[in-house]
Amino acid sequence: MTIERPTGLSAGFHAHLRQAGVPGLAHAGDQHAPTSWVIGSHTHDVWELYLQLTGPPTRWTVADHTWHVPARGLLMVPPDVPHAMAESSTAPYHFHFAALAPADIVPPDDLHPLWGQRRPFVITDAGSMVAPFALFLREVATHQPLRTVGLACAAALLVIEASRLADSRPPVRHLAMHPAIATANRRIENHLADGLTVDDLAVAAHLSPAHFAELFRTEIGETPARYRTRLRMERARLLLAETDLPITVIAMDLGYSSSQHFATAFRRETDTTPSRYRCAVRSHGPSGPAGFVLADQA
């Protein structure tokens, strides 16, 4: 397996995974692209998943059709189908991608029929893919024990979540969570970088703001703002520990107006700065050196 840093990107990498020891994996990456970065026409002998995290919608030509992929949108391209960006983006954008063969990753009896239909998909609200992609790219970009099985399991999660998103059947909940709060949870988790307010969430849940806020706290045990902050900090720790993305880029990805605003929020949650946290975790592991305790772990 080899990992390269393509020239012309603001940040990111491209990993070649054919020799990674996991059947079904071809390549993957995490890239921050400037407006001048245009992905030309190409094909693969496996499926390619393109998850756009930030930036304006990008326009793609896939099998002679035009598709628009917004932020938190997922483009799924079948094997041997030419695809390319139809034009440059109007602003910098950040995306994950993975090329893989689902039939080699998920047991045949469990494989969703969509993978056999060989037609492109665009899922405009694919925020639930962010966490599985982050886990998968962590396994790709870091050397740690059980790496091969970690890659295989993380790749399976990607295929499973993409299958669920492409399935029109609604999920069946086994936990007795109020459906309005379940809807709000998904909205917060899938749009961490957006400045969603209680009013925004209440409208989506079809409740008054006061009723929604009270119900959310009863069901979740914390306010919507606190819940969102906790999720953002979990994501920040992962990005600081497992990537070399500049802190300014991480701040923008998480929806903070500046790196200073992000650093202030991060320090309030952890009693340390983002740069010091990154150094400590890389030197001593997730718990940091002796005496280094995160505020919410004390």
User: What percent of the chain clears pLDDT 70, i.e. is strictly above it?
Assistant: 92
The answer to whether 189 and 231 are in contact (CB under 8 A) is: yes
How many CB atoms are located within 10 Å of the residue 296 CB? 11
- Of 176-180, 187-191, 214-218, highest mean pLDDT: 214-218
pTM across the whole model: 0.73
Give tens-digit pLDDT for 67-94: 999 988 999 999 999 999 999 999 999 9
Domains of the chain in sequence order: 2-166 (2.60.120.10), 179-221 (1.10.10), 226-297 (1.10.10.60)
Q: What is the mean pLDDT of residues 204-221?
A: 89
Query: How far apart are alpha carbons 260 and 268 in whole angstroms?
Result: 12
The answer to whether 56 and 90 are in contact (CB under 8 A) is: yes
Query: How far apart are alpha carbons 26 and 46 in whole angstroms?
Result: 8
Give me the helix-helix angle, 179-190 and 224-242, nearest 10°. Answer: 40
Give tens-digit pLDDT for 6-55: 888 888 899 999 999 999 999 999 999 999 999 999 999 999 999 998 88
Query: Does position 293 have pLDDT exceeding 60, yes or no?
Result: no
Give tens-digit pLDDT for 140-172: 988 888 989 999 999 999 999 999 998 866 555
Averaged confidence pLDDT in the chain: 87
Q: What pLDDT is attached to residue 284?
A: 66
Query: How far apart are alpha carbons 275 and 259 in whole angstroms?
Result: 11
State how far the alpha carbon of 90 is from the alpha carbons of 59, 121, 174, in Å: 11, 23, 43
Give the CB-side neighbour count of residue 10, counting CA atoms within 13 A. Answer: 18
The answer to whether 37 and 9 are in contact (CB under 8 A) is: yes
